[in-house]
Amino acid sequence: MHETTLLLIEVGALLLGMSILGRVAVYTGISPIPFYLVLGLAFGDGGFVPLAASEEFFQTGSEIGVILLLVLLGLEYTAPELVGSLRSARSAGLVDFALNALPGAAFALLLGWGPVAAVALAGVTWVSSSGVIAKLLRDLGRLSNRETPAILAVLVIEDLAMAFYLPVLSAIVIGVSLLQGAISVAIAVGVVTLILYIALRHGHIVSRAFPADEHEPLLLGVLGLTMLVAGIAAEVNVSAAVGAFLVGIALSGRVATNASQVLTPLRDLFAAIFFVFFGLTTNWAELISMLLPALALAAVTMATKLITGAYAARRAGVGTLGQWRAGFSLTPRGEFSIVIAGLAVGAGVAPALAPLAAGYVLITIIAGTFLARMPDAAWFRAAVLRRRARATA
């Protein structure tokens, strides 16, 4: 069979399967993320019927999915809101690092993997998944909640910190000189600073470049700018998600409103592809071998991430239920964790780190998807109210 024909068949079959699972998710009231992950696992490496022809398509689509999730998230907020959230979340960023990176480093040392692997695993457990959390917030209708700016501030701080972390990790695992590592960090920070400056100071000029009421040119223009900035950011070891988020922040007014409308269907498609692709690239056999260590690590660092989110929300003046929502929403890890593990394993550092990271990410995504819904349950709200009443009695 011709490769293009096989590609069409595989992609078409997976999209139909995703559609059916999406309807099941709507019917059961559960986020579709776990369903998409399981579908990918069923047809990925070590699955029932591994799909090879469509893997590259889904890889590209997954990268576009994360970019679209973050640009649309950025369109929901203004530059002053971003700056205010970042200022209020500085201490939360430090707490986030201490509570979530250090357990990963300690875990690697306990396994006897050495200091280089400890630096890598610290990154795996530190950074939450912007893509997963963005979809969760949208699916749960929480984009306008009081705790959401605190959640976004933590995510942005983590992604910006990757501008320092990834070049340093690359230098450590590859063994380049201190000067080369310092140059990489300086370039990454310079690019982030430039994008941030344009977004905050000259966003109104950027908005004027697009026709607010002409949907086709608006779609092409905003999508083109987003992918261009995300690509430039990724080239200098900065998160493409950060670049996309800042493009969304830079746009305002009718341009932002209409851009959100025309980009939403694309986001829904490619965001779903992102989760299926993660499952496609996870090997069941390798994952099972590290399942117990991954479960232990996930249990510890989901608890510490819960504390991080609650602290950030409390600092922002959010109530108790909002603090719980913020904490549970931050528990999923994702794209960065896999990138970090791949970078380390590719350089010959602790080969078991890859299946550990895959199992860890899968556990936190599935568990986090369900935990994020818990504060909306009647029994949970009642428990919080009873606890509050006892505390004030």
Backbone angles phi, psi at 320, to 5 degrees: -60, -50
pTM of the complete model? 0.76
Sign (positive or negative) of CA dihedral 238, 242, 246, 247 = positive
Q: Which of 100-109, 176-185, 243-252 has the lowest mean pLDDT?
A: 176-185
User: Which segments of the chain are extended strands (E)?
Assistant: none
Look at residue 40 in the predicted model and tell me its pLDDT: 83
99 within a domain of the structure (yes/no): yes
Given a cut of 80, whether residue 13 has pLDDT beyond it is: yes
Per-residue pLDDT tens digits for 83-102: 776 777 788 999 999 999 99
220 within a domain of the structure (yes/no): yes
287 within a domain of the structure (yes/no): yes
Residues of the chain with pLDDT > 70, as a percent, come to 92
CATH number at residue 298: 1.20.1530.20
The total of other beta-carbon atoms located within 10 Å of residue 239's CB is 29
388 within a domain of the structure (yes/no): no
Report helix, strand or coil for 35.
helix
Look at residue 179 in the predicted model and tell me its pLDDT: 66
Domain count, the chain: 1
Q: State how far the Cα of 68 lies from the Cα of 52, in Å rounded to an integer.
A: 25
211 within a domain of the structure (yes/no): yes
Residue type, 82: L
Q: Round to the nearest angstrom and report the end-to-end CA distance of the chain.
A: 74
Look at residue 6 in the predicted model and tell me its pLDDT: 86
Q: 318: domain range?
A: 3-376
243 within a domain of the structure (yes/no): yes
389 within a domain of the structure (yes/no): no
Report, in this order, helix, strand and coil percent for the chain, each rounded to 5: 80, 0, 20
Tokens of 172: 């450590």
Banded pLDDT at 29 (limits 50, 70, 90): low
48 within a domain of the structure (yes/no): yes
